[in-house]
Structure 1
Amino acid sequence: MHGQLTFISGGVRSGKSAFAERQLVASACVAGGRLVYIASGRAVDKEMQARIEQHQHDRADQQWTTIEQPVSLENVLPFIQPNDFVLWDCLTTWLANEMYEERANTFCIQVPGCMEKKAKQLLETVQQIRERAAHFTIVSNEVLDELPSPFTETQQYSKWIGLLHQQLVHMADDAIEMDYGLPFYWKKEGQVTTR
């Protein structure tokens, strides 16, 4: 037995996070569950600090339990309880953090096999959270609609986003793409749709 898994992607400022939060708040209210927010963002500059503060302000009224986890998502597992409604925001930020996690004066993206290991661990962790929580929603940015980059590491980033998106959508009960604040369900309750 496992909880529901929802994957939500979309462009920057497409309404992904707000939609995910509304969905989970409504479901948790009905079930009497706890709201858990897993935040991957790091306040590396003023813009990111402002975005983090805005997200915190937006969630203030719903009593979210926030877990700051920029890397190593598996570290949240001891905190996830049955009847939790969990939002992870977001996959693309986590991916950048993991790619550039420094180890022995080099980055993971530069070490053969490092990202493969991290991707495998991530997918296992997603399944474990799903087995513990009532509902697990993953938010991610859709950056693959842009022109291909001439930079090797940006190409690697895009490759990993594409691979992880495909695998997570395969695992998910619902796969939603946000456009202009409106949700389009590519997959609903395991059934695939087309435009």
Structure 2
Amino acid sequence: MAEAELIFITGGVRSGKSAYAEQQLQLLAESYHAKRLIYVATGVAFDDEMKKRITRHQLDRQKHPQNWVTLEQPTDLHQLLSTIQQGDAVLWDCVTTWLTNEFYEGFETGICNWQRPLKLEKRMAEMKATILQLHAMQIPLVIVSNEVLDEPVSNSVEVKLYQQHLGHLHQWFVQQATQAIEMEYSYVHEWK
């Protein structure tokens, strides 16, 4: 059996990544005869801008004839394994938001995960294992992330650590991907 597609899409903010990712998942869903289109949403509406972005993404998905099932999963990505089934096609939007959520989990207690390296490493390992398990189940995956690594390395320990983790994650995703795409101004550049 041929390997299921894993498309990794990165690019700048508002570069057209999400709309392109939704189109790609719909195409994959048709070719794999997927029963459900799963949208794994990591965004949390902390402020008005994020509320508007979440609403816009929801409205975009409602325009399409296929039925989207949205799973809100801001952290603990491995919990998806109890819901996603063979025959699904999955879009995860997005890695950077998920990493931020994982990074700052525990904020209310005064100790964030980024200050507890073993906890953060465990969550990242669980996420990778989840992606590999979904891929092994022959589920087509489209994974979106933001390209925030074009900036100089920060002097802040916290920001530098985030940049390092995101950089390693992007490298890992590209290694796993059957296609790796970077978007700029709605222009698609296929690296792999």
Q: TM-score, normalised by structure 2?
A: 0.92
Letter in 2 for 1:72: D
State which drifts further: 151-160 or 37-46: 151-160
Deviations 1:130-157 (A, max 9, x none): 1235311110000000122221111111
For 1:18, the equivalent position in structure 2 comes to 19
Between Structure 1 and Structure 2, which shows a larger proportion of strand residues? 1
Instruction: Work out which of the residue numbers 25, 42, 45 in structure 1 matches 2:44.
Output: 42
* Coordinate RMSD, CA, aligned: 1.5
Structure 2 contact 91–141 (Cα < 8 Å) conserved: yes
State which drifts further: 105-114 or 65-74: 105-114
1:79 aligns with 2:83: yes
Letter in 2 for 1:161: L
Letter in 1 for 2:22: E
Structure 1 contact 12–141 (Cα < 8 Å) conserved: yes
Specify every segment of 5 or more residues in structure 2 that has no aligned partner in the other structure, as ranges: none
State which drifts further: 129-138 or 87-96: 129-138
For 1:179, the equivalent position in structure 2 comes to 184
1:29 aligns with 2:34: no
Letter in 2 for 1:39: A
State which drifts further: 29-38 or 70-79: 29-38
- CA distance in 1: counterparts of 2:187 and 2:140, whole angstroms: 21
Please give the secondary structure, in 2, of the residue aligned with 1:113: helix
Deviations 1:2-42 (A, max 9, x none): 52111110000111111110111123234431210000000
Give the length in aligned residue pairs.
187
1:151 aligns with 2:144: no
- CA distance in 2: counterparts of 1:72 and 1:129, whole angstroms: 15
- CA distance in 2: counterparts of 1:133 and 1:94, whole angstroms: 23
Deviations 1:26-69 (A, max 9, x none): 23234431210000000000000000000000001332100000
Structure 2 contact 24–142 (Cα < 8 Å) conserved: no
1:126 aligns with 2:131: yes
Please give the secondary structure, in 2, of the residue aligned with 1:148: coil
- CA distance in 2: counterparts of 1:8 and 1:166, whole angstroms: 12
Specify every segment of 5 or more residues in structure 1 that has no aligned partner in the other structure, as ranges: 188-195
Structure 1 contact 80–133 (Cα < 8 Å) conserved: no
Instruction: Work out which of the residue numbers 57, 60, 64 in structure 2 matches 1:58.
Output: 60
Superposed displacement of residue 179, structure 1: 1.3
State which drifts further: 120-129 or 25-34: 25-34
Please give the secondary structure, in 2, of the residue aligned with 1:85: strand
Distance change >3 Å, CA 186–CA 153, structure 1 → 2:
same
Structure 1 contact 85–133 (Cα < 8 Å) conserved: no
Aligned-residue identity in percent: 47
Please give the secondary structure, in 1, of the residue aligned with 2:91: strand
